[in-house]
Each structure stands twice: as C-alpha cells, then as structure tokens.
Amino acid sequence: DIVMTQSPDSLAVSLGERATINCKSSQSVLYNSNNKNYLAWYQQKPGQPPKLLIYWASTRESGVPDRFSGSGSGTDFTLTISSLQAEDVAVYYCQQHYSIPFTFGPGTKVDIK
C-alpha cells in the first residue's frame, strides 16, 4: 500500500498570510503514460463532508478560489493557501488514487493565529 504522510499536523496562520501543507507518498504516484500525478487535495470543515480542491496534483477544481494552489510531482506535493481567509479554517487531506487501495494522508488542521 502507498503510505501518505502530511506535515505539519497542524498550523496556525494570521489572516492574509500564506499557509503551506506538505504531502509525501511512499512511492511515486506519477503515471508515466499520461504524465499525470494521481494526487488530490480535499478540504473538510467541521460537520461537513470533504470537498475536492485540487486534482492531478495541481489542477484547481471549478469554483475553488485561486488562493488555493497545488504543486509537486512524483512523491512530494504541496498545497498552498496564498492568503488565508477565515473560511479556510478546516482540515486538509491529500489522497493518492494511483493504486488500490487509495489512501489518504492523516490530515493537517489549519487555524487562525
């Protein structure tokens, strides 16, 4: 199984400041035949289901604010919130859908400092 790790476990950022979350997979999730990274980022607010933010590691889902961006390839990925807003308080998960079983990272909790 591919193991997903995230860092940090939690972070507190001032409003308007940048938040950066890292995700690492135990093996590459880059599919060479189509050059796509099978890596997604989700946001989950308390009492709500997860919401897809980023897919193929760097493609923003429709309707997601452009302050959210994803980067990375192979085994190392980053989710960046360029200017944190109050509504961004949530837990963020990365997920690989490259191989069965699909696996999620443990989550990173983002709060306001």
Partner 1 sequence: EVQLLESGGGLVQPGGSLRLSCAASGFTFSTFAMSWVRQAPGKGLEWVSVISDSAGSTFYADSVKGRFTISRDNSKNTLYLQMNSLRVEDTAVYYCAKSNGGNCYGSQDYWGQGTLVTVSS
Binding region for partner 1 (CB under 8 A): 1, 38, 40, 42, 44, 49-52, 55-56, 61, 93, 95, 97-98, 100-107
Residue 97's nearest CA partner among 58, 32, 41 is 41
Q: How far is the CB of 91 from partner 1 (least distance, A)?
A: 8
- For residues 27 and 83, which CB has a smaller minimum distance to partner 1 in the complex? 27
The beta-strand segments (E) located in the chain are 4-7, 10-13, 19-25, 30-31, 36-37, 39-44, 51-55, 59-60, 68-73, 76-81, 90-96, 103-104, 108-112
Query: What's the order of all strands across the beta sheet hosting 76-81?
Result: 4-7, 19-25, 76-81, 68-73
CB of 82 to partner 1, least distance (A): 22
- The smaller minimum CB distance to partner 1, of residues 50 and 74, is found at 50
Nearer to partner 1 by C-beta: 65 or 83? Answer: 65
In angstroms, give the least distance from the CB of 39 to partner 1: 8
